[in-house]
Amino acid sequence: MTTQTARRPGRPALPRTTEAAVLHGATDLRIEQKPLKTLGPDDVLVEMRSGGICGSDMHYFADGRNGTNELRQPTVLGHEGAGVVIAAGEAANIAVGTAVAIEPALPCRECPTCLSGRYNVCATGTCFGSPPTDGLFARQVVVPAAALHALPDSVPAEIGAAIEPLAVAVWAVERAQVQAGHRVLITGAGPIGLLVAQVAAVRGAAEIIVTDVNDDRLAVAAKFGATRTINTANEGLDLKGMDRLIECSGNPRALSDGIYTLGPAARATVVGQARPTVDGIPLGYLQRYEIDLVTAFRYAHAFPTAIELASAGKVDLRSIITSTYPLADAAAALTAPVTDPTNLKVLITY
């Protein structure tokens, strides 16, 4: 590994390159040396401890694309990550040795949308691990200090990558406006759906029904606050008068069927990745009962709440982590949830 000259007298030389998992094309993942960005005054060098596998990473690996975004050049994957600060620029207000979770979205922070607080939908923003922006599956990464959130001792960096999907769940429940006493339907018992169930329970939901086609995942949901689980491969969705639908599967049928379970003045929130266009949405039913249909994209200001919930033990992160792989086996990690459907959250550890 080559190094760059220290920025100040007495500071150790910093690495110029790092080992990373680089996707060159569908199923063509290579562990190779990548140049590191020179540390700027507002930047921080993080030594990674954990990186989470997300469905988007799996799509990029399997197909070379995720939704409408296509891999056009070799790119480091990964947007769920945590590590320890090993160097900081002069203007970065964070101490070396601090354990941190990395918020991967990189908004411009200057446009009216960002200034309004909705930086998650910045029109010119980028995100770590979303091609062509290199991601976090590397031994060291340079990130803006503004993207870091300090982790307490109760949330070690070795599992800290799971804070990112928890932030997705926090924002989903916020967008759904779940309130105490609500009856909540969650479609999809993957990692996000399971975390949404826990956050909804924290918010005081009186009834939490989780659906999926995987009995193993539904069994986990029952441990995570679901008052009822339904395997929709074997059982119809015979529900009425639900207050909230939080769709986490990305399946259009789950969305349309879920909407019909909602009562008047309810709310449906799309969290799972939506297709570009979807037929079959019951617009007339939505209008007749003034049911709000909203979407959730990543998160805004959700990391502090996610860290607080995990630190206080109100959300169980460890139980959704089912497998860990070293960086050298990143390709196996990216297929683990497919080869073993009992897998939930898979981590790369360093």
Domain range for 107 is 3-159+317-349
CATH code of 16's domain: 3.90.180.10
Do 186 and 282 reside in the same domain of the chain? Answer: yes
Do 217 and 280 reside in the same domain of the chain? Answer: yes
Is the model's pLDDT at 197 over the cut of 60? yes
Do 178 and 135 reside in the same domain of the chain? Answer: no
Question: Given this model, what pLDDT does residue 101 score?
Answer: 98
The answer to whether residue 306 sits within a structural domain is no
Please count the structural domains in the chain. 2
CATH code of 232's domain: 3.40.50.720
5 confidence band (pLDDT: 50, 70, 90): very low
Do 126 and 175 reside in the same domain of the chain? Answer: no
Question: Given this model, what pLDDT does residue 238 score?
Answer: 93
Do 80 and 95 reside in the same domain of the chain? Answer: yes
∠ CA 27-32-37 to the nearest 5 degrees?
115
The per-residue pLDDT for range 140-180, each reduced to its tens digit, is: 999 999 999 999 999 999 999 999 999 999 999 999 999 99
- Give the residue, 92 or 275, on which the prediction is more confident: 92
Do 94 and 198 reside in the same domain of the chain? Answer: no
The per-residue pLDDT for range 322-343, each reduced to its tens digit, is: 999 999 999 999 999 999 989 9
Do 120 and 202 reside in the same domain of the chain? Answer: no
The answer to whether residue 309 sits within a structural domain is no
Percentage of the chain modeled with pLDDT above 70? 97
The per-residue pLDDT for range 10-33, each reduced to its tens digit, is: 556 889 999 999 999 999 999 999
Nearest to 176 by CA among 196, 192, 195: 196
Q: How far is CA 292 from CA 223, 237, 261, 284, in A?
A: 30, 20, 13, 12
Do 14 and 118 reside in the same domain of the chain? Answer: yes
